[in-house]
Amino acid sequence: MSVIFKTKIDATINTNALNPSEAKALATTLELLNYQDTETYTRTKNSLTNQSTTPVFTNALAQKLYYHPEIYADQTQGLEFVASWFPLVDNAYYPDKKSSELLVTFLKFSLSLFTSNTITEQLKTRVFDVIKLLVHSPSAASVPLTQFLIDTVFDTRDSNSSAFIVKQCLKHDILNGLYYVCDKNQTYTAHYFTIQQSFVNHFQEGNWEALITKIHNIIPVGKPQKPGAYNLVAAWFSFDLAQFYVTNLEFTTAALRAIKERFLFIEDHCTALLHIKTTEGLYPLIKTLGSKTWDSGDVLVFSTLDTHIPQSQVDACYLRFLDWLTVDGSSNFYTEAFKDHGNTILSNSNTATLPAECIPFWFEKCHPKTGVVSQTEAYNTLFYKLLIENTKHTLPTLRLDHSDFQITGEFLITTVFQIQHNLKAWLEPFKTSGIENPLNQFLVLAFYDAREALLTLYNEADCEVLQTYALALAHTATEASDTIKTNNLPLLVSILSTLCVQSGNYTRVNEIWALKNIDPVIIDQCNTFAQSHYINIETPLHLNVIQAWYNFLGDYYYSLTTEAVWVSDMLKTQGLRTGLYFNSLEDDTTFFLNKAINRIVHFHKKSKQKQVQNSVFTMIASQIETYLADVLEILKKDKLDQNTVQFLQNYSCDETFGFKNNTTLSTIIQSCYSFHFKEAPTPEINILREHGQLSKIDTKDIPIDQTTITTVLHNLEHYKTEGVCETTLLQVLHTKIDALKSWLSQNDSGIETQYIQALYMTLLDPDLAPETPLETYGNLCRQLFVQLAKGSDMAMSYALGLKAMAHSGAYADPLKTTLLQVVTDLNT
C-alpha cells in the first residue's frame, strides 16, 4: 500500500479527538489499509477498552482520512492518494461530502495530467477503480463524481479529456447501472442511469432540453470503429426520452441530423437512438423521418432501420424515399447514397413493405417514351422481382393508407393510371415495347385481374384498343423467353377471350385463335376460344358461320384432326341445328346446300380412301356421317334440289365409299330420294311412253309431267285431223286432277288457257256428242273442262257462251242437254 498515508496522513490524525466508536472504525480502516505497524494504529488500538464498541465511520473521521488538500498539491501524489482509497471504499468507508467535493475539484484540476502519458496506465486503472466504486455506491461522492464525469463527457470543447473519460468509463463500466442520491434524511436512494425526470434533475437541473442538446452534440463525436460518448449514453435511453421526443418533435429533427452526422463522420449507426420508442410503441424519430424532406443522409438512416418496427410507422418513410428519388430530375439515382443504400432498401423490400405508390413511380421512371433511360434497367429489374416474379398470375398486396391493400386491376385502371378515357394514347408507347418489358407484364397482370370489369369500364372502341394491344404483345412473345411465354400468354388469351365476346367478328376470332402457334402453352385455350365462337349455341346461326364450318372441315381433314379441332364437335353436335336453320330460311338455299354437300361428301370419300393408312380417317368419315345424318333427318326434303339428292343417292349406293354400312344415313337418303323421285318416271315408263305403248303401263304409274300434259294438249288440238282420240292419258289427268292443276298453275307459259280453250272447243264438237262413237272421249273432255274451268276467272264467260250456244238451235237435243248440264256444273 501506498506510503503516502504513512508519510503524510498518519501524522495528521489526532486520535484523541475520536470517540470510542470512531476509534474503532479508524482501527478497522487502518487494518484494511494494512497499517497495523503504524503508531496511530497502536495508539488507537490501545485506546479501545471496550471491545464490543460498535464502529461508526463519521464525517469527521472520513475527513481525517480523505480530506487532505495539501496532498493534492502534488497532482501525481494526489492521484496516488486517491488510488490508495480502494480498500476503504471497497469496504464501504466512503468519503464525506466535503472530501468528495475536494476530490472532484482535484480531478477537474488535474485532468490534463491525468490524461497524459506521465501517469501510468496502472495508476489510471487504480484511480478509476476507486471512482467506479464511489459512483456506484451509496456515498456522498456518487452524485458529484457522476456530475463531473457527465460534464466532462459532454464537454466537446476539451475533446481530449472527454475522450479519455469516455474511454475509461466504457472500460470500467462506469455511468451504467445505479448511482446514489442522499436525501434530507441522510439516506441514500438508488437511481438508474436512465434518462428520466430524476436523472435530469440530478445532473441537468431539470432542464431536459439542455441535456438532449448535449447528447445530440456528442453523437457525431468519436473515432471511426471506436466506441465513443454515444455508446456511453446509449445505455441511458429510456421510454421517458422517447416520450420527450414525442412531445418535443423539433428535437427529433436535431436527433436525426446528429445520427446522420455520426454516420458520415465515423461511419457508425445509432440504432439505439433511432429506434427509441415510447411505452405505447411509438417511434418518434421514425415518425419525423417519414414527415421531413429527405436528403442522402436520410436514405442512409432509413437503410439501417430495424425490420421489427410496425409497418404503419415506416410507410411514410417509403413514400419519402420515393419522393427523394423523384426530385431534382431523378438525379438522386446517381448518388452514392442510392448505389450503396437506396438500392438495398428496394431490393430488400417486399410486397408487405412497399407502398402502392411505387407503381406509378415505376411506370414514370421506366416509361418507354418519357422514362429515364439510364435508370430503366435498374428499376425494371428491381420491380420485376418485387411485383411480378413470384405472383402466380395475381397482383401483389401492397401498403396503402397504413394497411395492406390487395391491388386490383380495376384500382390500377381507375385510380393509379387513370386510363378510363385516354386508353389509346396511354397504351400506345407500351404496345411497341413488347412483352419483355416488365411494365407490360405488369399491365397484362392488371388487365387480366380486371378482365371481368373491363367490359363495364370501357366502351367498345376502347375494348378494341385493348384487344389490339393484347394481340400485339402476344406476337412479341414469339422472341421472348419460355418463362415470359408461359407466364403471360395464357393471361393475354384470357383477356382477349373476355373482351372478344360479341359474336360475328370472325376476323378477330381468327386472330386470337392464331396465337396458338406462338407457344404450345396456349393451344387448348385458343382452341376452346375459337370453338366458343364458331359453335356458339347462344347466338343464332348464320350462313357464313356454316360456310366457315365447311371451310374448316378442310383444315380438319388435311391436318389429320390436329387443326381446327372444334370441327370434331361441330360434326358431332351441330347437325340438327344446321337442319333446323335451313328449314327456317325462306330463301332458296339449294345452291348452297348442293355445294356444301359436295364438299362434305368429297372429304368423306377422301377419308374412306385413306382409312387403311390411318385410323384417324375412319373417325373423320364416321363423324361426317353423323353430321350428314343429323342434317338430313331434320331438313325439309324440299330444301334440296333433285341434283343434290341424286348425287347423294348415287354416292350412298357406292360400293366402295358409300353409306352402305350406315343404315340410318342410307335410309334417310333413300327416303329423301323417294320423296323427290316418287312421281318421276322410271326409265322403263319413259321408253314405253316414247313408243306409244301406254296400254302396257299401269295408269297409276303415269306421272303428271311435261310429256303427259303436252301430249294430251296436242291430242286435243289435233284429234280431228290426226283422228287419234286417246282416252288413257285423259283418264290419268282426270284422276290426278290436283297434280295437273298445280302443275298448270306453276307454269306461266299460258298453257292453262290453251288447255281450257282446247277443251272448250271439244264441247262444241258434235262428233264428240253423246250417243256418238266418240262419246267416251267427249265425256272425259267435258268432265276435265268443268274441273279446270270451274272457279277460274273465265268460268262465268264460258258458262254464258255455252248457254248461248245451247240455245242457238244449232245442236241436237242430246248435246244441247249436255251443254246445259256443263253450264249448271260450272255454276254450282
Partner 1 sequence: MTADITPQIQEQLNLSALLLKKNYNTADLSTWSGFNSEDQMQVKQAKRLLKLNGITSGLHLRNSLQRYQSGQMVSHTFSKLAAEFRMDTTTSFDAKYNAQEHPRLKHNYKMVWKYRFTLKEHLLIGYELSYYIYLMRLATVVGFIGTDELLLRMEDANETIKSTFSSWGAFHRNVCLGDEFVLGATEQDNSKFPGSKTLWEHYQRLYVKHADWFKTWNK
Among 635, 639, 604, which residue's Cα sits nearest to residue 620? 604
- Lay out the site mask for partner 1 across 557-576 (x = CB under 8 A, - = otherwise): xxxx--xx------------
Q: To which residue does cell 497532482 refer?
A: 75
Query: Which residue, 297 or 554, has its beta carbon nearer to partner 1?
Result: 554
Given candidates 172, 269, 385, 475, which one binds partner 1 under the rule CB under 8 A?
A: 475
- Lay out the site mask for partner 1 across 526-555 (x = CB under 8 A, - = otherwise): -------------------------x--xx
Q: Given the rule CB under 8 A, which of 398-406, 410-418, 515-523, 720-728 is the region that contacts partner 1?
A: 515-523
Given candidates 518, 648, 716, 768, which one binds partner 1 under the rule CB under 8 A?
A: 518
Query: Which residue, 138 or 554, has its beta carbon nearer to partner 1?
Result: 554
Instruction: Quote the CA–CA distance of 51 and 574 in Å, as a whole number.
Output: 126
- Distance separating the N- and C-terminal Cα atoms of the chain: 166
Which residues 6+ apart lie within 8 Å of 329 measured at CB? none
Shortest distance in whole angstroms from residue 514 CB to partner 1: 4
Among 405, 407, 406, 402, which residue's Cα sits nearest to residue 311? 402
510 binds partner 1 (CB under 8 A): yes
Residue ranges of E strands in 491-546: none
Q: Given the rule CB under 8 A, which of 90-98, 131-139, 155-163, 556-564 is the region that contacts partner 1?
A: 556-564
Which helix (H) or strand (E) is 66 found in, with range?
Answer: helix 59-66
Instruction: Quote the CA–CA distance of 401 and 60 in Å, as a whole number.
Output: 69
Query: Which residue, 166 or 530, has its beta carbon nearer to partner 1?
Result: 530
Sign of the alpha-carbon dihedral angle for 675, 680, 683, 684? positive
Instruction: Quote the CA–CA distance of 415 and 413 in Å, as a whole number.
Output: 6
Shortest distance in whole angstroms from residue 559 CB to partner 1: 5
Query: Which residue, 168 or 467, has its beta carbon nearer to partner 1?
Result: 467
Number of chain residues interacting with partner 1 (CB under 8 A): 19
581 vs 523, 585, 598, 623, 634, CA distance in Å?
Answer: 31, 7, 19, 20, 10
* 629 touches 669 (CB < 8 A): no
Query: Which residue, 196 or 611, has its beta carbon nearer to partner 1?
Result: 611
Compute CA 744 distance to the chain's CA centroid, rounded to the nearest angstrom. Answer: 73
Pick out residues in 598-637 that bind partner 1 (CB under 8 A): 606, 610
Query: Which residue, 322 or 515, has its beta carbon nearer to partner 1?
Result: 515
Given candidates 514, 535, 576, 580, which one binds partner 1 under the rule CB under 8 A?
A: 514
Query: Which residue, 212 or 567, has its beta carbon nearer to partner 1?
Result: 567
Given candidates 126, 516, 608, 639, which one binds partner 1 under the rule CB under 8 A?
A: 516
Burial 645-667 (b: 16+ CB within 10 A, else e): bebbbebbeeeebbbeebeebbe
Shortest distance in whole angstroms from residue 510 CB to partner 1: 6
Shortest distance in whole angstroms from residue 566 CB to partner 1: 13
* 510 touches 470 (CB < 8 A): no
Query: Which residue, 500 or 668, has its beta carbon nearer to partner 1?
Result: 500
Shortest distance in whole angstroms from residue 554 CB to partner 1: 6
Q: Which amino acid, one-letter code, is at 499?
A: L
523 binds partner 1 (CB under 8 A): no
* 788 touches 755 (CB < 8 A): yes
Among 223, 296, 224, 226, which residue's Cα sits nearest to residue 256? 296
98 binds partner 1 (CB under 8 A): no
Instruction: Quote the CA–CA distance of 467 and 451 in Å, as a whole number.
Output: 12
706 binds partner 1 (CB under 8 A): no
Shortest distance in whole angstroms from residue 653 CB to partner 1: 23
394 binds partner 1 (CB under 8 A): no
Which residues would be at the binding site for partner 1 (CB under 8 A)? 475, 510, 513-518, 551, 554-555, 557-560, 563-564, 606, 610
